[in-house]
Structure 1
Amino acid sequence: MGTNSFLKVLPEMVTFLRVAELGSFSAAADLLGMTPSAASRQVKRLEKEIGVQLLQRTTRQLRLTEPGTEAFARCRELVLAAQGTMEIGQQYAKKPSGRVRISAPRAFARRVLHPLILSFLARYPEVDVQLIVEDRDIDPIQEGVDLVVRLTPNPPEGLVARRLMMVEHILVASPGYLASGAAIHHPRDLGAHRCISLGEHERDNRWRFKRGDEEAEIVVQGRYIANHTEIRLDAARSGLGVACLQMFVAQQALDEGSVTRVLPEWEFQGNYRGHAWILYPPSRFTVPKCQVLIDHLLDALATGRGKKLNASSTRRAPPRATN
């Protein structure tokens, strides 16, 4: 291939990238505004120019060949560079403007992000925000999202990761429930109580705790299992038992007194511990509209609100009721 001959297949590289990302000629064609047959012809033309097969085509799926995998990585770099070039003008704009698309898990989006986005919109009137609430992992490059919030101990490679806050898990129950049952001073006391657990995996009913050098593990049981944090919170408020929740979900109920923290001196070693991270594609430049939102979230969560969402409540379980 000549020095400048790659210029004539730049569109074909973009089409190949989208086909490989989406695993479908039809889906890529819809995204690019062409027919599936046109998308197929462009990929074949690219393969002819390069001289190797990039995709293995079957009636059920598309699969990258070994050279196709390398070409995919190079084409992705090319598209990212092109997107960065198109955004250079915004780097020098006096005011951040435009729309930022940000995704986050449901509970975190509702309890943490939403209030902060409201204050952000008031502060930056030229920037709009589209909040995409999804519990699944979203690929910002493939799905066209500017920023992604993910709760994990290990952020994925290939993306810039900024830590927003620690995600602390705690136990709560209603004051009425705690007053009517056996006192809970040690994790082993949970064996005599109804516990509201996640229930997505068998290990979710094995609750582990740590206090200094002391560790404890207890198999819990209860009448209600739910894989949604807001539902577990509501069940705890209703007196159904002791629920495991993220601190940011339970904080308002703790402040209101509708639930009380259980075993506050023990660290709950949940299966989903970690931090909340804000993720975005690597680039030499971060466009102003994204940068100001990132900075706003980091500043807010590093100060009062972030500390409150992870602060240990001083509200203790009431003493056991006596007859």
Structure 2
Amino acid sequence: MSTNQSLYLLQEMATFVKVVETGSFSETARQLGTTPSAISRAISRLEKALATRLLQRTTRKLRLSESGEQVYLHCQEMLNAAQAVMQSSGQFDAEPQGTVRISVPKAVGHFLLHPYMPEFLQRYPKINIEMLLEDRYVDLIDDDIDLAIRITNQPPLGLMGRKLIEIDHLICATPEYLQQHGTPQHPRDLKQHQCIYLGEQPSDSKWKFQRGQQTVSIAVQGRYAANHTGIRLDAALQHLGIASLPYFVARQALDRGALQQVLAEWQFKTYYSGAAWLLYSATRHVPPKLSVLIQFLAEKLAQEPTLYRKNPALSDE
């Protein structure tokens, strides 16, 4: 294909990327302000120029062909380069500016990120933050998200990421509750206690502990379950039982003695533990507004203590 022909097909290439992202001719047409037939013709022109079928069309959905996958990657690189050109003027601004939409799990946003936001907004007066606190999975493109924090040990392919902090969990109760009901000495003792757990699925009431090579799984019970860490924290502070909490949520109450860690010599294992990763779309040129926020959060959260730093003995096992 000649250079001139490639230039004439730039719009078709961009349309092809949008069709792949939306998975629909009609949705692409809606977003681009045109008709599905116009989108179909654009894809046909590109396929004719490349002499290959890019999309496999069915009555329900579109699927990339083998050659279409390769073409899509190259077209996506072209769009990323074009976006970098459009953003290049911002690279030379005296101050980073613009709006950043960041999707964060509720507890992480409330207890970890929000306390640092006033300092960030004061440091960068031309940047606006839209923080969306939600535990659901978000698609950065479909949901128009600039940055997302996810708790995972395997960041998804196709995104750039930076590991921020390990999210560790523990169980704890007030000294008053433990004085009245006794302090468990072994995980099996939890069967005699009121336990405050997540309660989103049956496995949430099966608590797992590890000490050295020993692993113990206990089916706990209790009169109160809540899928919000702030509520479980408050329930524990109201002496309602032994609660499962992320360490960063319970930390202040532990430090002032309002809560006491239970079974501290055991590591509390949960499906919701892992590393907090800051994720954003893969691109060679990160806008200044994102770059400064990424660096700021990485520096601040690096200072956050973890459960293992507070209890070094656990990390030695």
Q: TM-score range by the shorter chain?
A: 0.7 to 0.9
Query: 1:89 — aligned with what?
Result: 89
* Stretch deviating more after TM superposition (64-73 or 79-88): 64-73
Query: 1:115 — aligned with what?
Result: 115
CA distance 1:190–1:79, change in 2 (3 Å) = same
Query: 1:139 — aligned with what?
Result: 139
CA distance in 1, matches of 2:71, 2:64: 9
CA distance 1:234–1:292, change in 2 (3 Å) = same
Query: 1:180 — aligned with what?
Result: 180
Secondary structure of the residue aligned to 1:307 is coil
Give structure 1 stretches of 5+ with no counterpart. Answer: 314-323
Query: 2:314 — aligned with what?
Result: none
CA deviation map 1:200-246 (0-9, x unaligned): 44433332223345443322222333333233323333333222111
Secondary structure of the residue aligned to 1:140 is coil
Amino acid at match of 1:229: T
CA deviation map 1:47-68 (0-9, x unaligned): 2222222223333322222222
1:308 is displaced (CA, Å) by 7.1
Query: 2:286 — aligned with what?
Result: 286
1:125 is displaced (CA, Å) by 0.6
Amino acid at match of 1:109: G
Query: 1:320 — aligned with what?
Result: none
CA distance 1:49–1:247, change in 2 (3 Å) = same
Amino acid at match of 1:27: E
CA distance in 1, matches of 2:126, 2:98: 7
Is the CA contact 1:248–1:310 (under 8 Å) kept in the aligned structure 2? no
Query: 2:305 — aligned with what?
Result: 307
Secondary structure of the residue aligned to 2:164 is strand
Mapped pair 1:207 → 2:218? no
1:108 is displaced (CA, Å) by 0.9
Is the CA contact 2:168–2:306 (under 8 Å) kept in the aligned structure 1? no
* Stretch deviating more after TM superposition (40-49 or 17-26): 40-49
Q: TM-score w.r.t. structure 1 length?
A: 0.86
Secondary structure of the residue aligned to 1:244 is strand
Aligned-residue CA RMSD in angstroms? 2.4
Identity of aligned residues (%): 48
Secondary structure of the residue aligned to 1:11 is helix
CA distance 1:142–1:266, change in 2 (3 Å) = same
CA distance 1:219–1:26, change in 2 (3 Å) = same
Query: 1:60 — aligned with what?
Result: 60
CA distance in 1, matches of 2:234, 2:25: 45
Q: For this pair of structures, how many residues does the alignment match?
A: 311
CA deviation map 1:157-186 (0-9, x unaligned): 332221111101111223443232132122
CA deviation map 1:249-298 (0-9, x unaligned): 22344356553322223221112221111112333332221111111111
Is the CA contact 1:166–1:310 (under 8 Å) kept in the aligned structure 2? no
Amino acid at match of 1:205: S
Is the CA contact 1:105–1:149 (under 8 Å) kept in the aligned structure 2? yes
State how 1:125-136 maps to structure 2 within 5 Å. 125-136=125-136
State how 1:119-268 maps to structure 2 within 5 Å. 119-255=119-255, 257-268=257-268
Give structure 2 stretches of 5+ with no counterpart. Answer: 312-317
CA distance in 2, matches of 1:246, 1:95: 36
CA distance in 2, matches of 1:250, 1:208: 19
1:36 is displaced (CA, Å) by 3.0
Is the CA contact 2:183–2:262 (under 8 Å) kept in the aligned structure 1? no
CA distance 1:158–1:177, change in 2 (3 Å) = same
1:77 is displaced (CA, Å) by 1.8
Is the CA contact 2:169–2:307 (under 8 Å) kept in the aligned structure 1? no
CA distance in 2, matches of 1:35, 1:117: 43
CA distance in 1, matches of 2:92, 2:307: 36
Is the CA contact 1:56–1:62 (under 8 Å) kept in the aligned structure 2? yes
CA distance in 2, matches of 1:72, 1:249: 43
Is the CA contact 2:166–2:306 (under 8 Å) kept in the aligned structure 1? no
